[in-house]
A and B are shown apart, each in its own frame.
Chain A
Amino acid sequence: MNKKNRHVGIVGIGETKFSSHWEDVNQPEMIHEAVRAALDDASMTMDDIDCVVHGNMELFEMVHQPDLWHTLGTGAAGRDSFRLTTGGTTGGTLVAAADNLIASGMYDTVLAVGFEKLQEGHTTGGITNMADPLWARKLQSGALTDSAAVKAISEFGEDRARRAAMTYRIIMDKHACLNPNSHRAFGLDWDQMEDLMENSPPLIGDLRLIHMFSQSDGACVMIFASEEKARKITRNPVWIRDHVTVHREETLNLCVNYYPNETTHRFAAKTLYERNGITDPLNYFDVFEMYDPSAWWGADWIRDFFLLEGDEHLKLIEDKEIMLDGSMPINPSGGVLAANPIGATAMVRVAQAARQIRGDAGPHKIQRDVDHAIASSFGGTMWTILFMLEKELNF
């Protein structure tokens, strides 16, 4: 494990409310709301920011190099600036980039901007456009797939798998209803299980509308600082202990047993825990903010991220241990099912995990001390970024 040159703290967080339609603001205006909120949160001004890092996906809104126009709202003019983009993982890549840029000593403070205004484009059209135009585009259905459902049903049977996915979905909605920034919060309850499993409109196979993320508008901004600066800026910085990015080529996985023959989630989790000496992640971490694009995926991925076996992940869901007051709270924010402004989504996971550590998450705050958190990003062709956040600087 390489040792970081210096520690990096999260000192400011700002989110817009997430919505299906932000029609009263344009892109830079919407971003500016989150920038303002993050600066206020950190008691900083733009004069205190060395570098602005920006990201989203160009083909969702069809703006080429949108960071150029967005300087109107990001405050990047007169400062250093980078633009990075990696699909759904973009928001996580921006956090990883801020971590690297500050640890390098090149910058003391970095403001990262993740945004998407999906109402201004066509989300599934945009995602479908990632497929190879010669070989795969006619087969592509964007993020809509029931592969996770097929897998879970074949392993655990129709009834148990479907109930687990719907239980996960209702838990996420209960969390979303507490989070004032949620785009979708329906007020679902347990007596609706059967009805939703039967009657929610099917999208593909066992993937139904209720299982799937929405298209949202919104922005998330985070401010990061070197250890020395972070301690001056705030009494409670949240420390980024480590991050790992794992991408995967799309079709090699069709080859049986091709290296390393496990999901990027599990690979990333193994790598990160090994590097940091975490032997029992389920006990070590106090909260997990997961990038869960659908209830089927979210339910399935718990197993990989905590390196579980068999049906351990289903038991966590069935016993409601992933709820706010459970043994391993997952997505107190409501997760991606509550809001998905894609370029911001992965950053929101880190931001929400950091808020839980700070203890100021709002109505969806976990009612006990949160010292250790993980946050994941998902995108591309099953890509993962995984972050470890800490309350104390003792690593």
Chain B
Amino acid sequence: MTRKVAVCAMAQINNQSDYRHLRYQGMLMDCFESIIHETHVTFDMEKGIRNVVTCSDDVFDARTISDEAITDAVGAHYRGEEKVAQDGISALGYAMACILSGHDDLILVLAHCKESQSESRNMCTNLAFDPFYTRALGMDYLSASGFQARAYMQASGLDDEDLARIVVRSRQNGAKTAYARPNDMVSMDQVLESPMAADPIRRLHQYPVTDWAAGFLLCCEERAHEFTDTPVWLTGFGSGMDHFFLGDRDLVANAPLKHAAARAYAMAGIDDPAAQLDIVELNDAYAYQLPLWAEGAGLAEPCRGKIWMDQGGMDRSCVNLSGGMLNGNPLMLGGLARAAYAVSQLRGEAGENQVESPQRALAHGTTGPAGQHHAVLILEK
């Protein structure tokens, strides 16, 4: 019985503002072909891929059953295909379970989101609110995060300058990361003067609209050597759900993230995350979320994220050396992008920001308004 799951191969296309010349099927095709060429994996019913886990969203794709359009591009013709409609990190968690269950040796994971295609991410995320009370108010993920940002800044003392520091650092790190969305460098002043999007969130505090696709080949422990000499192991996963109405939640308590992290840590045998994690990738869709999620993951004390930042916590714990979601990944795939970067660090392929021989990484994703759902994945060399 296998106790851990190997990432044998990973492929991605560049994060970009707008893939005008590619449909999402084409975005996935590039990832699929890369994995097949690299590993020579087959679709044999006995020894090959029998099940594909995909990740996408019908609203962003503007298609009912949008995975129906990619059956061929992901190799699922007369094979299994199961679509996880949450942040793609949940797709990795579910694919892990498929293999640990003994039901499958191999799972291909393929994920896409073409955010540029929808009229407005605000309009799409407005549809996540219930049609009776909150939708008509114009709630969307941005305005929900505005409430959370205000609550957290009050609770922690985080200020506009701190947020600007996070954005400047994100852009600098993004520029050193392969496949990251190309962005202009920004100065502290530019961020501080950026127009308000949802007070206290400024336009530069939020992730830019992005298109991206990625793929992973996962395999049971016993057979990983067939496809790679440098596996990265998935050793822990957990997720957590918060209440729906913002008023029913404590927006700064991180309850679902703490739950998800505790489960992932228990599965991976981690009791001191700050000491045991060499790479931490948090899904910071908005600047204020980086220190908030750091608290939830156990790197900083509750409501002391600002102090943790002031004491150099971000660089000491190697948090978001990729540039984070803030540098640009699509909604639905922020967490998957964190996992992809963690894999590249553990393989020693992270380029300019490569940490010296990291052993263990955390990748984190969120789904829903102001982090209603969190998932945490532990990866090891």
B-contacting residues of A (Cβ < 8 Å)?
A: 2-5, 26, 52, 55, 57-60, 62-72, 76-87, 93, 96-97, 99-106, 126-130, 132-133, 244-250, 252, 259-260, 264, 267, 271, 379-381
Contacts and interface: CB of A to CB of B under 8 A. Distances in A.
Contacts, number: 209
B77 A248 contact: yes
B78 A82 contact: no
15 contacts: A58-B57, A58-B64, A62-B127, A67-B241, A71-B244, A80-B238, A83-B84, A84-B83, A97-B97, A100-B98, A130-B64, A245-B79, A248-B78, A252-B72, A379-B65
A104 B102 CA distance: 7
Given A58-B59, A65-B367, A79-B241, A86 B81 contact: yes
Interface string B74-110: 0011111111111000100110111111111100000
B78 A86 contact: no
B57 A64 contact: yes
Contacts of B68: 87, 130, 250, 380-381
A55 B58 CA distance: 12
A250 B263 CA distance: 40
B241 A78 contact: yes
For the complex of A and B, 9 pairs with smallest distance between CB atoms: A103-B101, A245-B80, A104-B100, A87-B65, A64-B127, A104-B97, A249-B72, A130-B64, A64-B128
Contacts of B58: 57-59, 85
B259 interface: yes
A245 B90 CA distance: 20
Interface stretch (B129-137, B162-170, B291-299): B129-137
Given A52-B241, A59-B59, A80-B263, A4 B101 contact: yes
A127 B78 contact: no
Interface string B37-66: 000000001000001000001110011111
Contacts of B152: none
Contacts of B259: 78-80
B237 interface: yes
Contacts of B129: 69
Contacts of B197: none
A245 B240 CA distance: 27
Contacts of A82: 84, 86, 90, 93-94, 239
B316 interface: no
A76 B78 contact: no
Given A2-B102, A85-B83, A63 B77 contact: no
Given A71-B242, A77-B242, A247-B77, 7 more contacts: A26-B130, A67-B373, A82-B84, A83-B367, A100-B101, A103-B100, A104-B98
B131 A63 contact: yes
A126 B64 contact: yes
Nearest to B70: A249
A260 B77 CA distance: 10
A131 to B, nearest CB: 8
Interface residues of B, number: 68
A78 B244 CA distance: 11
B188 interface: no
A353 B307 CA distance: 58
B42 to A, nearest CB: 13
B122 to A, nearest CB: 11
A60 B78 CA distance: 26
B71 interface: yes
Contacts of A76: 241
A99 B98 CA distance: 9
Given A26-B132, A105-B100, A380 B244 contact: no
A66 to B, nearest CB: 8
Interface centre among A63, A69, A133, A245 (most CB of B within 10 A): A69
Interface in B123-168: 124-125, 127-132
Nearest to A381: B68
Given A79-B240, A103-B102, A132 B69 contact: yes
Contacts of B367: 65, 68, 83
B372 A101 contact: no
B244 A104 contact: no
B82 A97 contact: yes
Contacts of B242: 71, 77
A105 B1 CA distance: 11
B142 to A, nearest CB: 14
A129 B64 CA distance: 5
A106 B97 contact: yes
A381 B72 CA distance: 12
Nearest to A50: B263
A218 B79 CA distance: 30
